[in-house]
Chain A
Amino acid sequence: MKLFKISRFPALTLRAALCATAAAGLPALAQSVPAQAVAPADATTTALPAIDIAPAPTIAGVTVPPLSPITLTRRDLQSGQVRSSDTAALLNSLAGVSSNSGGGFSSMPVIRGQNEQRLNVLVDGVNIPAACPNDMNSPMSYTDPQTVESVTVITGVAPVSLGGDHIGGTISVDYAAPAFADTGKTLVSGEASGFYRSNGNGFGGALILNAATDTVSISYKGSFTQAQNYTAGGNLGEVRSTEFAKSDHMLSLALQADTGLFELDAGYQNSPYEGFPNQYMDMVSNQSWFVNALYSGTFDWGNLEARANYRTTAHEMNFLSDKGGTANGGMPMNTDTDTAGGAVVAEFLVSKRDIIRVGTEYQYQWLNDYWPPVPGSMMMGPDTFVNINAATRQRWGSFAEWQAAWSPKLTTVIGARYDRVWMDTGSVQPYATNMMNMADAMAAAAFNAATHARTDNNWGVSAIATWTPSAAASFEIGYAHANRSPNIYERYSWGRGSMSSRMIGWFGDGNGYVGNLDLKPESADTVSAVAAFNGIGSTAWNLKVAPYYTHVSNYIDVVKLGDLKNMMGMPTGFVQLQFANMAAEFYGVDVTAGLPLWDSKSAGTGRLSATASWLRGNNLDDGGSLYHQMPFNMNVDLVANLGGFEADLNLNWVTEKTRVDATRNEPVTASYALLNLRTAYAWSRFRVSFDVENIFDKGYLLPLGGMSLGDYKATGTLRPLPGKGRSFNFGVGVTF
């Protein structure tokens, strides 16, 4: 062994020097090693063992350190797509992730207490900005779990290279990378699936088709889903305005050449209706087209990725039948938006130890929001209510980041970024200037008299260290300073009337919201840590503990303007609020654990896994709780596999939500526990599944569900939004 060590060290001491010169010598080296040179025919080849490169999620062209991201794979989504058509809701099973209820496929993810645009949500590598005063077409509503390949979530500090203009976690929804055939061959593959859910008669299907040669790959992904109103558990009855229907289609073309990989994706979404149980309005049409282009090149000096994106969306709101329909004119509200942008990220392999990333990005959004007059209505006419007049929001961001692998055990990523945000908008008008619209008329006059152009300069930094002292333990610590500029609705909503302000807001609480031209960008400082431990070999238990603390300056919360009153002048229980900068903090801890229970040939494998999240979100100005903070919750799963059979008995326990935002009259919700059974059998290329969700048909109120306004309008009784009762779900799938 002494000899062995002697032979080992020279190579290793050489390594640093050799690698340090590698970068400088690369061009010459590349020339000096012709790729086509061949070895003598009589040479004896020594076969070396494989070098394994662990899978690592790639977000925005950057391969992120492996410890912090959590990835839902196609297999997880295959199981999830049967119980929900809402990609965001499927993330609720992850520690630290929850969702604010919206429509049946449009819930809005919450990571560690932060929601909406506070998160960096990338779909196919692209941010999709808010394009509805109620955020009905949230980014993940453009995805269907049936066709998504993976969803990667970073709940803690993420490197600045993954994007700017957000202060919270990162979610990346990705489709399968293009597949190519072996040389001279053609590849045809795909997947077809369908499902039925008894509660709400939900059904849907999807088709994925790939055809490829060794250089060209084309792919189609299409899905359809539809459901009626669901029934709540226990005796809580039907939950109105929860029906939905939508279809998504996407065509992808990819070319691989010596110069790199070129991808072109184009897609279309059409949703003819989606009820929103906690909004006054429903979505009655959402049509959206997009084109994304991507180039990625692999060079001796590093990697280059360039992307361009374009999306145009026509979004319409009105009343579905539960809220009275449109026979008497309803109340049309339309939003048109275009977004376009591009990004370039270059990754330089400076030495074996160091990677330098630089990138720049530009995003442009244009948005019109107008409410056509309702014929014959004294209140909603005779003019068009111009809610947002050709607002623009532009962002240019750039970053530089240094990743250093100090050893195979210790990696650091340190970066800084700068984002400049420009916003502007035109003049607005109310329905009329009569007495009924006086509050709006005065507000419009004040808004039009003010200057609307705003520019924000936002600096951010991130520093993350990942340390793996042994195969049984790893640690990550991170710090980030990040900023988010207000979105168009936060800055430019202006209506002060009861009705017009209640049309604004993505909080599901029935309150009225008024924008604020003086809003400053949110600015957050976060420290987060992960400590992960696991057993090795047959005792492959695992435990991950992840605490965090975030302080936010200028957090965009609300101040109360007054009580909203009914025709008789009596308070309705709802309030009118205006966006305002506050100080806020979030802290908590997420725990994930797993324990193997049995492993034998006759009984298969058994495993117990659990996630738990505890957090607090405080408004430091008024001393109260922030709105919609998830109470302590945990999931315990008993998972058994035997041959092609798998079963998952899931217990979801959520404690009472007593910490509520008094400013918004947020309701308290009771604790509940749900038992769910998910089974599947896979053989050959087929998969069938059968689930029972909420086995005991437990009646419960969603802690982040807001108020059930669809029911309120129909029954006159106001209650928090109830969750779904028992449902039998069937799924089939085939891959080919």
Chain B
Amino acid sequence: MPMRFRKPALAAVLALHAVALALVLAPRAAPVPIHAPALALFEVRAVPAPAAHPAAPARPVVVTRPAATSQPAPPVAPPPAQLASAAPRPDLPVPDLPQSEAAAAAPVMTPAAAPPALRDAYAQTLWRHIAACKPPGARRAGVTVVRFGVDHDGGVYGLAVAQSSGSASLDAIALRSVRRAAPLPRPPAELGDDLQFSLPFSFG
């Protein structure tokens, strides 16, 4: 009696392992997986050629900035909940093509002086770059909003908590995630030197 069931059970375990292993080893379509959902939010307009990305600027490389004495205007972060609901979960990859009209209509970007499409394209690259450094899981719930500036070399400056989650540990993890992502992708020169971002981390 035991022997009769033992073999099928063992076979089932091995078969599952084999299937999973085969799938793992199978050639994959995309060499690098992309967190696509956020892209939908950014791909608002046709993206002009970033091929126009200039060579390294002539200005001296500034990685850090001295702390200014005046407080900046509070970042105009949209309600995180609204953003979260607008964006599919980044850990659920979806096909990145084609973009739906609904997604295209999502009002996410703050208008800026720089060419909006260029700015959006860069913001998209930036978001994906930082999201790749996010922690694997949240031990507790909370939303931390961080703000930071990006210089022309992709250096991060002025990284700070704009809105605390109430947990120092979650705030520290959010700051760490941005620091670990640095240096960030170098922004197109057309965007200037005053690139400021606010970024919510929604834990749990």
Contact = CB atoms under 8 A, between A and B. Distances in A.
Interface in B77-128: 77-78, 80, 83-84, 86-87, 89-94, 97, 108-110, 112-113, 119, 121, 123, 125-128
Interface in A467-525: 467, 469-471, 475, 477
B139 interface: yes
B64 A51 contact: no
Contacts of A548: 13
Contact of B72 (A30, A41, A46, A50): A41
Question: A-side binding surface: helix, strand, loop or mixed?
Answer: mixed
Contacts of A15: 129, 132
Contact of A45 (B14, B47, B198): B198
B158 to A, nearest CB: 4
A8 B175 CA distance: 24
Contacts of B83: 47, 49-50
A52 B97 contact: no
Contacts of A39: 68, 72, 147-149, 157-158, 194, 196
Nearest to A587: B9
A6 B125 CA distance: 11
A292 to B, nearest CB: 17
A349 interface: yes
A8 B71 contact: no
A66 to B, nearest CB: 6
B182 to A, nearest CB: 6
Interface stretch (A318-326, A527-535, A670-678): A527-535
Interface string B46-59: 01111100000000
Given A33-B156, A55-B141, A47 B77 contact: yes
Contacts of A296: 169
A300 B139 contact: no
A29 B141 contact: no
Interface in A340-370: 349, 352, 355
Nearest to B86: A49
A592 B149 CA distance: 47
A256 B168 contact: yes
B127 A49 contact: yes
Given A256-B167, A300-B176, A408-B93, A45 B196 contact: yes
Contacts of B34: 8, 12
Interface string A1-31: 1011011101110110011001000100110
A46 B198 contact: yes
A75 to B, nearest CB: 14
A497 B199 CA distance: 71
Contacts of B157: 33, 37, 39
B33 A409 contact: yes
A50 B166 contact: no
A531 B16 contact: yes
Contact of A38 (B127, B136, B160): B160
Interface size bracket, B side: 35 or more
Contact of B173 (A4, A177, A298, A625): A298
A274 to B, nearest CB: 34
Contacts of A45: 73, 75-77, 110, 147, 196-198
Most chain B CB neighbours (cut-off 10 Å) among A65, A403, A477, A548: A477
A349 B180 CA distance: 9
Indicate the member of B51, B108, B135, B148 with the most A CB atoms within 10 Å: B135
B37 to A, nearest CB: 9
B125 A51 contact: no
Interface in B13-41: 13-14, 16-17, 19-21, 23-24, 32-35, 38, 41
Contacts of A352: 132-133, 180
A449 interface: no
B43 A43 contact: no
Contacts of B51: 3, 6
A63 interface: yes
Interface string B145-173: 00111000001111110001011110011
A206 B47 CA distance: 59
Given A7-B121, A41-B72, A55 B6 contact: no
Interface stretch (A257-265, A438-446, A722-730): A257-265
A465 interface: yes
Contacts of B71: 38, 41
A1 B64 contact: no
Given A38-B71, A257-B168, A52 B5 contact: no
B13 A19 contact: no
Given A475-B20, A529-B17, A411 B50 contact: no
Given A44-B112, A49-B127, A32 B199 contact: no
A43 B72 contact: yes
B77 A549 contact: no
A177 B156 CA distance: 32
A56 interface: yes
Given A39-B149, A41-B71, A471 B93 contact: yes
Contacts of B194: 39-40, 42-44
B94 to A, nearest CB: 7
Given A33-B156, A43-B72, A405-B136, A50 B198 contact: no
Contacts of B195: 43, 46
Contacts of A618: 2, 6
A44 B113 contact: yes
Contact of B185 (A11, A51, A66, A588): A11
B80 to A, nearest CB: 5
A328 interface: no
Contact of A179 (B126, B132, B166): B166
A575 interface: no
A50 B138 contact: no
Contact of A58 (B14, B139, B155, B199): B139
Given A6-B51, A54-B89, A179-B166, A549 B9 contact: yes
A479 to B, nearest CB: 9
Nearest to A34: B67
B72 A38 contact: yes
B200 to A, nearest CB: 4
A182 interface: yes
A475 B23 contact: yes
Determine which residue in A18, A46, A477 has the highest number of CB atoms from chain B within 10 A of its CB, and name it: A46
B16 A547 contact: yes
Given A50-B201, A52-B91, A38 B70 contact: yes
B87 A47 contact: no
Residue of A43, A257, A465, A549 with most chain B CB atoms under a 10 A cut-off: A43
A341 B72 CA distance: 49
B17 A527 contact: yes
Given A41-B70, A48-B127, A408-B91, A298 B134 contact: no
A187 B177 CA distance: 28
Contacts of A8: 34, 125, 128
Contact of B137 (A4, A66, A298): A66
B166 A214 contact: yes
Given A7-B47, A471-B93, A471-B94, A38 B68 contact: yes
Cβ-closest 4 pairs across A and B: A56-B137, A298-B172, A587-B9, A50-B200
12 contacts: A3-B47, A3-B51, A8-B125, A18-B181, A32-B155, A43-B195, A48-B123, A49-B41, A55-B138, A214-B166, A529-B13, A531-B19
Given A50-B199, A547-B12, 5 more contacts: A45-B110, A46-B196, A48-B126, A182-B166, A465-B20
